Amino acid sequence: MRRIKKPVFFIVVVLIAVFAYLTFAGVSTTYGDIETKIIKSTDDIRWGIDISGGVDVTFSPSEGVEATTEQMDAAQAALDMRLVNLGITDYELYVDYSNNNIIVRFPWQAGEEDFDPEAAVEELGEMAELTFREGYETDEYGLPTGVTEENVIVTGDMVVSATAVAWEENGQYQFGVALEFNEEGTAAFAEATERLAGTGEVISIWMDDTCISYPTVESAITDGKSSITGNFTYESAKDLADKISAGALPFKLETSNFRTISASMGLGARNAMIIAGIVAFALIAIYMIIFYRLPGAVAVIALVGQVVGSIACITGFFGNIPSFTLTIPGIAGIILAVGMGVDANVVTFERIKEELRSGKTLNTSLELGYSRAWSAIFDGNITIVFVAIILMGAFGPPDSLFSKLMGWLYFMFPTTIEGTIYSFGYTLLVGVILNFVFGVFCSRLMLASLSKFKALRNPILYGGVKNNEENL
């Protein structure tokens, strides 16, 4: 600490101030009507449905059906498409393969007044209608018309399987979709392909009223096994295969859990939590400055950095990083993490006071105070880290890293509440990590830097009892 120079305090404060400004204001560029986010602002926080209001629904296969992984992927693809067709693009969709559940959440859209969530959920859970149609004639709304509307070649119940396949051609891997039809589908598809082969015509594939592909008929297919080739990647081939399989699912999705949250109630709760957090922070700042004097003021600056860092981790900060969904329990996690930061500073400052009052010099007291407090701070915070990881694993998205690690525990908890609790675990984990960065490292740098100023070396400013020259 003796090597820390006077300007370090000002450098750290300026960095925290700049970080705070960027986090709250953001940085973006505008070209015409297109805005590109370089650094996100607080306006880019994605609020959970418990704040913004919305729908939380869990779908399961109809009773008695044990769906395979492939069938659950297909059902997910169908739900993805239907959500977009309903104009719902800001949604969360998770597949819980172990329990055969699909969890869907989506917020109320801005200006929505006549949106019927129950009708939307019912529509989402219906069996997808898959059709293979002649040609690709559409009206102004993209719906099938003319011969495409009239001539349905094959329906979803005639499709046995649809899988993504790969093969090597000219030293490069090519991808496509392999189809297999039942006896009725084989006959219908053979008649259509024999008639359309070599004419340049297409057979369009429709999911409900959305065209998902329209391959050209190159040759007659009479064995009931067809393939769709083209400029596919493995991901795009699997996506198409899943969508086709969704229309061939032998079951419909049933609603096992369903709840709606009004936007007004959620916003009221959010505002109350934010006000409570601001009031709590102000009271903590006053307490720290009164009881711990100069170290208390340094702790307040460090806590500001910790809160700003938590918000930055929620927004993603950089424009290319996805935002994290913040819920009311997530706000509580931020507040709790601030409390952990205060505790760390209190432990440290009490150690410094003890060393000063035992007659040690200021430099020695600062050094020993931080070193002797470290084990208590580490032990207290590391237990919170474990708790946060468990919460994120038990209540997080089924495909997340923590959920996979905590899969043995996940089945014990209702999947419909994982979003809110997951947010709490995330903000708590981030807050504790930032506590080490700001509450321990940065506060130590700032306090050591201030101690280099002659006017600020009075032990009374650090909790000592008097200005003793031996302590200088």
Write the pLDDT tens digit of every residue in 344-363: 899 999 999 888 888 888 88
pLDDT of residue 472: 42
Range name among 74-78, 149-153, 297-301 with the lowest pLDDT average: 74-78
Mean pLDDT of the 385-398 span: 78
d(CA 455, CA 453): 6
Residues 191, 221: Cα–Cα separation, whole Å: 9
Q: What is the pLDDT of residue 469?
A: 43
Higher-confidence residue of 71 and 333: namely 333
Which residues pair with residue 95 across a beta bridge? 102
What angle do the packed helices 7-25 and 443-450 form, to 10 degrees? 140
What digits encode the pLDDT tens for the residues 432-457? 999 999 988 999 999 989 988 888 88
Instruction: Read off the tokens for 455.
Output: 């006017």
Task: Give the per-residue pLDDT at 438.
Answer: 92
CATH topology of domain 130-247: Gyrase A; domain 2 (3.30.1360)
Of the ranges 145-149, 240-244, 273-277, 389-393, the best mean pLDDT one: 145-149
- The answer on pLDDT for 372 being more than 70 is yes
Can you give the chain as a three-state secondary structure string? Answer: CCCCCCHHHHHHHHHHHHHHHHHHHCEEEEECCEEEEEECCHHHCEECHHHHCEEEEEEEECCCCCCCHHHHHHHHHHHHHHHHHCCCCCCEEEEECCCCEEEEEEECCCCCCCCCHHHHHHHHHCCCCEEEEEECCECCCCCECHHHHHCEEEEHHHEEEEEEEEEEECCEEEEEEEEEECHHHHHHHHHHHHHHCCCCCEEEEEECCEEEECCECCCCCCCCEEEEECCCCHHHHHHHHHHHHHHCCCCCEEEEEEEEECHHHHHHHHHHHHHHHHHHHHHHHHHHHHHHHHHHHHHHHHHHHHHHHHHHHHHCCECCCCCCEECHHHHHHHHHHHHHHHHHHHHHHHHHHHHHHCCCCHHHHHHHHHHHHHHHHHHHHHHHHHHHHHHHHHHCCCCCHHHHHCHHHHCCCCHHHHHHHHHHHHHHHHHHHHHHHHHHHHHHHHHHHHCCCHHHCCHHHHCCCCCCHHHC
Contact residues for 117 (Cβ-Cβ < 8 A; gap 6+): 55, 260
Domain 54-127+253-260 CATH assignment equals 2.60.40.420 = no
Q: Compute the mean pLDDT over every residue in the chain, rounded to the nearest whole number.
A: 83
Q: Which CATH class is domain 7-45+262-471?
A: mainly alpha
Question: Residue 183 class from Cβ within 10 Å (0-12 exposed, 13-18 middle, 19+ buried)?
Answer: exposed
What are the tens digits of pLDDT across the range 186-200? 999 999 999 998 888
**Range with the poorest average pLDDT among 115-119, 165-169, 268-272, 372-376:** 115-119
Residue 413 has pLDDT above 80, yes or no: no
With a cut of 80, say whether residue 114 has pLDDT above it: no
Contacts of residue 360, Cβ cutoff 8 Å, sequence gap at least 6: 368, 471
The pLDDT score that the predictor gives to residue 402 is 65
Q: Are strands 101-107 and 54-61 parallel, antiparallel or unpaired?
A: antiparallel
Mean pLDDT of 384-410: 72
**152 vs 265, more confident:** 152
Dist. CA 79–CA 396, nearest whole Å: 20
At 204-215, the pLDDT tens digits run: 999 878 888 899
Written as six digits, the tokens of 275 are 């006000």
Can you give the pLDDT at residue 471?
43
Mean local confidence (pLDDT), 144-148: 91
pLDDT value of position 398: 63
Q: What is the pLDDT of residue 134?
A: 92
Contacts of 287 (CB under 8 A, 6+ apart): 296
| pLDDT reported for residue 241 | 87
62-90 average pLDDT score: 78
The pLDDT of residue 35: 78
Q: What is the mean pLDDT of residues 423-429?
A: 90
Neighbours of 26 (CB within 10 A): 18
Residue 243: is its pLDDT beyond 60?
yes
Percentage of residues in the chain having pLDDT higher than 70:
88
> Residue 16 pLDDT more than 90?
yes
- Pairing verdict, β 46-47 and 325-326: parallel
Residue with the larger pLDDT of the pair 26 and 251: 26
pLDDT on residue 99: 80
Domains 7-45+262-471 and 130-247 share a fold: no
Query: Would you list the domain boundaries of the chain?
Result: 7-45+262-471, 54-127+253-260, 130-247
Identify residue 17 by its one-letter amino acid code: A
